[in-house]
Chain A
Amino acid sequence: MTWFIQTFKSSLGKKYIMAITGLMLGSFLVVHAIGNSSIFWGREAFNAYAHHLHSLGIFVTFFEIGLYSIFFLHVITAFYLFFENRKARGGRYEVWTSAGGVTWGSRTMPYTGIAIFLFILIHMANFHFVEKTEVFTISDYVTKVLTNPAYTLLYLVGLGMLLLHISHGFWSLLQTLGISHPKYDEPLRIVAWAIAAIMGAIFILVTLLMVVSRNQLL
């Protein structure tokens, strides 16, 4: 067991935790985006998807517990890394100019992370911890929340943060896991960007669809 503790206490071990939990959270996002896409086929399809998902019963609970664990492992490790890295920096430079490495995504990882955390809390308060009935379904909640201009803006900003976070995160986790080679390093960067963009586009389209269609959602 000592090797296990030694590994995950080390700097690289913590990066592995970030990479693996990040990959799992990313995979969840892909599934979430695909599931949400059912809304493009109308409220019946979306309600049916939600109904099917919940009919899995106990598995949903298991999945939720797993997802919460992965999520908090990612967040707690991130806090450790953030404070360790700030200490390791050992004083700021009077002048610091990037030599061409950092990106908007990489530079803002801890901050977009916190923003996403807050966004997820609001998101869950909006749709998860609400009572859904036969009369007022999940579709009604989605319409109600997203047509509120304040929420529309909040969701667009939140999704923007998410996009920025995974624009660096997807490629970074592959590098951390040692998956890098001059042959496919650049293509992988582009694929990571593309996945982030497609996923972001789906979520943003859902938000905009609600605004445009108002109460006329099929």
Chain B
Amino acid sequence: MASKNINILVKIWRQNGPLAQGAFEEHALKDISTDMSFLEMIDVLNEWLTRKGLEPIAFDHDCREGICGMCGAMVNGTAHGPDKETTLCQLHMRRFKDGDTIVIEPFRTQGFPIVKDLIIDRSALDRIIAAGGFVSVNTGSPQDGNTILIPQHVAEQAMDAAACIGCGACAAACPNGSAMLFASAKVSQLALLPQGQQEAKKRAINMVLQMDKDGFGNCSNHRECENVCPKGITIRNIARLNREFMKGSFAIDH
């Protein structure tokens, strides 16, 4: 598609600090190339703000190629914007039309306090990982690659779950502010493989309890999460977590 320039109106959330009162700020942007990524559009806005001597918009980003999980915001009410399986950095301005108003808000949920503007504190996800998202067997020196044989379809499923980049879009999009899709992906990637199965039951319990402690909500099976996940992680993983938690609750030996 040939590139062209569009004029847009950006309605963006500004908030000075975690406890500060936030509000929307409007900026009319002219001549935005449709070849720009969404974050480049914010870069342009920030350069303009800086030249004016105003405070630039704070937003998280790192790789800008959709694999790190740092970026993310609600674009017109949808986490990571309107494209499926796309992070915010991979969303492009060609997705918008001349004259569009774009509303940009930070990911909101009780578990993610706002740090500043669009930056949120996602350390709750790290605490869920720390509660059980690991394998605590002594691995010793590296084994030969194929000593533990894993069928291809199992490896694929584990890899699909492991594709989670922890961006938090699932919890942000969830009407209940639940991080079940995240927790279920982290439980699944290990529960599917022999090395992770030993601790699967205990892991499921510890991660769910930590998720509750951090103020995330309860899953109502709305399926919003899987529809905004930039890595296409499905709620089949949530069903697996539900099974693992049940086994852990009713059939654990210690």
Contact = CB atoms under 8 A, between A and B. Distances in A.
Contacts of A193: none
A99 B224 contact: yes
B215 A87 contact: yes
Contacts of B250: 7
Contact of A100 (B13, B177, B227, B241): B227
Given A88-B111, A88-B217, A181-B236, A107 B175 contact: yes
Contact of B109 (A88, A101, A106): A88
B236 A182 contact: yes
Given A88-B178, A89-B175, A99-B227, A11 B219 contact: yes
Given A95-B77, A99-B224, A101-B227, A180 B173 contact: no
With most chain B CB atoms within 10 A of its CB, the pick from A12, A15, A90 is A12
Interface string A11-34: 111111000000000000000000
Nearest to B239: A180
Interface of B: 11, 13, 24, 74, 76-79, 84, 103, 105, 108-112, 173, 175-178, 205, 208-209, 211-212, 215-228, 235-236, 238-243, 245-246, 249-250, 252
Contact of A179 (B220, B239, B249): B239
B162 to A, nearest CB: 18
A101 B225 contact: yes
B179 to A, nearest CB: 9
A93 B105 contact: yes
Given A11-B211, A90-B108, A90-B110, A102 B175 contact: yes
Interface residues of A, number: 44
B145 to A, nearest CB: 29
A93 B217 contact: no
Contacts of B209: 6, 10
A171 interface: yes
Contact of A89 (B74, B177, B238, B243): B177
A106 B224 CA distance: 11
Given A10-B212, A95-B105, A85 B76 contact: no
Nearest to A87: B110
A85 B110 CA distance: 10
Given A11-B212, A12-B245, A99-B173, A175 B238 contact: yes
B175 A171 contact: no
Interface string A128-142: 000000000000000
B222 A99 contact: no
Contacts of B77: 93, 95-97
A87 B236 CA distance: 26
A84 interface: yes
Contacts of A102: 175, 222-224
A84 B105 contact: no
Nearest to A169: B221
Contact of B222 (A81, A101, A179): A101
A97 B211 contact: no
Contact of A88 (B11, B216, B239, B243): B216
Given A89-B110, A90-B110, A172 B221 contact: yes
Nearest to A182: B236
A38 to B, nearest CB: 35
A175 B242 contact: yes
Given A88-B217, A176-B221, 9 more contacts: A3-B252, A11-B219, A15-B219, A15-B242, A88-B216, A96-B77, A97-B76, A98-B224, A182-B236
